[in-house]
A and B are shown apart, each in its own frame.
Chain A
């Protein structure tokens, strides 16, 4: 009875079905524990959390310079920027836009820097459904390789005030 005192000799090893199930469950937990380190070394999708301290003002300056150097056009008044393949790309999150629009090449690897100038934001790439946290004061670096081409959307998925739902951006990937 769970609500009365247990028998005095309750400290006994499990038997029968209980023992079998504990063994099965523990084995499964071990499999799952191994899966993550395995994927870290052999899988292609990992969140390593590479990041550096940066003040919002410094970050805005870097983004400005990046846009100035690599701008190739405009869309709805937003600069479209094409970084060198294998190079650094910068994305700036602020209430309520993602700047600039990035033009990438399929199969090329970029060091994509993301940071926020104000609140916390959430980088969500659609329809890929890849999601990363964006914090002010932290330059979050994703070493990213697009494996498909087309026009992709960025939406914000961390609440950032009343205009949160209007915070969208674009990544264009060419073959």
Chain B
């Protein structure tokens, strides 16, 4: 019986030497990686910022959930829309970008055995991102910017609102350029040999998409900022929507890329998995880069100003190659875990490897639940809602947030939580308290957010609008009422939100306690999250055989096909329209 972190025993001899200045590097006692101390500092700063805004956005989330639960209906209309604006921006922009910046500092300098290109740029990036985030939050809470995350013109916010977003975007862009420059000097100084490690490759894909995303952000936000100050007279609403979604949707693809990189990272860290075919994994990342831009079209599927031909072209071929990429990762990640587990001797039946997987390790359970929730929940609903004609039954209903809370929360945020169970011991060099609670946390969060999303999706299928304070339409000229089923699903949304928030709060408390008061593990390997049990010793298996994963993805495909055609059937029953 060994007690090392899986994967830790497989450190290659580092033939090439790093280019770090003396005393600016340490060797990780667990993974053997050379950790650039400048990068380590920025991983810490960005991770802490991400956790703080996760808490703020999470408090927003539970308030919103309790307002949309008709029996509770907590906030006033004014505060509902204000908190909704805050929740969207703090979670989707501030928290996630800070987390991704931490990942870039890890996937660039640390994995490539290289120094950070520029500490000054890193400081500028951090200060601009934090300053922008504070400005944005102040603008929202002051009550002058109740425009929701999308700030669709001609709805007008205070100039500080747009400036905050611009600062965040430009700060992020500087950080991304710093990352790309780090890869350049790593290559120049031969700090690594051959090709980039897969996780760095995925992070690079995320960085490339981020550059294009942030340029869209600048193109849409700078004129809108000038318009909010009266310098530009008019912003066309259709132009705004198309360009804004170049920022809004593509940034989700950055999240997907970063999340998938974290899946590969955690599969390796927790089970020692290695990709079946590097070419396939890398090819799938390239598909994201090439074919995702036009997917912003699927926010405009029932818009005026764009033709049916434009809508269909831009949702189908290109979007489906990006869907193909996600379906590929959805196979390769669990398949790599399956092969690794079988090699350890868990070779019995279709799913022996799955039952024997380290479910008590929050790094493993978090990433695997993220994979399942993202695939079955987010993937299937995303493609169906983004089908041009089916979107008629979904646009701006609660089906939309029902979808993206299982991609970006159940998927991305959960994967980021899972990797935090390694970031704190490895980068902050602190051990967690209450490990039993740590093991429980991903399950609780996954359960809560899945319930909330089911509640939203089903309420939305009754036509319940998203971004709407009162489904009882109090005070309306013509009364409208929803079926009691819709109310029940909104209640489920509320219950799910409370459970997910409890898990989020638990996560924040565990992380804060560990970072500030945890036992330092400097000088020794981190305490392993799970004991490596051998089942009759290692065996040799065919590294291209993963029958259990194949069975799971076939079940997935069947669910996908059934849900897809069921939606066409529902569509066929509504009024005719062209």
Contacts and interface: CB of A to CB of B under 8 A. Distances in A.
B575 A128 contact: yes
Given A8-B194, A131-B396, A132-B395, A47 B549 contact: no
B279 A10 contact: yes
A84 B564 CA distance: 38
Contacts of A160: 155
A130 interface: yes
B572 A133 contact: no
Interface stretch (B302-310, B441-449, B497-505, B507-515): B302-310
Contact of B463 (A21, A129, A136): A129
Interface stretch (A63-71, A86-94, A139-147): A139-147
Contacts of B547: 17
Nearest to A8: B194
B255 interface: no
B324 A45 contact: no
A137 B571 CA distance: 29
B268 A3 contact: yes
A57 interface: no
B477 A78 contact: yes
**Chain A contact residues, majority secondary structure:** mixed
B387 A36 contact: yes
B469 to A, nearest CB: 5
**Majority secondary structure, B binding face:** loop
Interface string B308-332: 1011100111001101100110011
Contacts of A40: 308, 312, 388-389
B14 to A, nearest CB: 9
A55 B117 CA distance: 52
A72 interface: no
Contacts of A158: 152, 396, 467
B312 A37 contact: yes
Contacts of A6: 194-195, 197-198, 275, 278
B155 A45 contact: no
Contacts of B146: 161-162
Given A144-B575, A157-B466, A16 B392 contact: no
A18 B327 CA distance: 11
Nearest to A21: B331
Interface in A20-37: 20-22, 24-26, 28-30, 32-33, 35-37
Contacts of A119: 152, 154-155
Interface in A144-159: 144-148, 153, 155-159
A14 B277 CA distance: 6
B230 interface: no
Contacts of A37: 312, 316
Given A97-B477, A133-B302, A140-B304, A159 B392 contact: no
A135 B568 CA distance: 27
15 contacts: A6-B278, A14-B280, A18-B331, A21-B328, A26-B324, A45-B574, A78-B477, A122-B396, A124-B463, A126-B482, A127-B483, A130-B575, A130-B577, A144-B576, A159-B148
A-B residue pairs, 8 tightest by C-beta = A51-B304, A16-B544, A157-B465, A140-B304, A129-B463, A10-B278, A29-B320, A2-B264
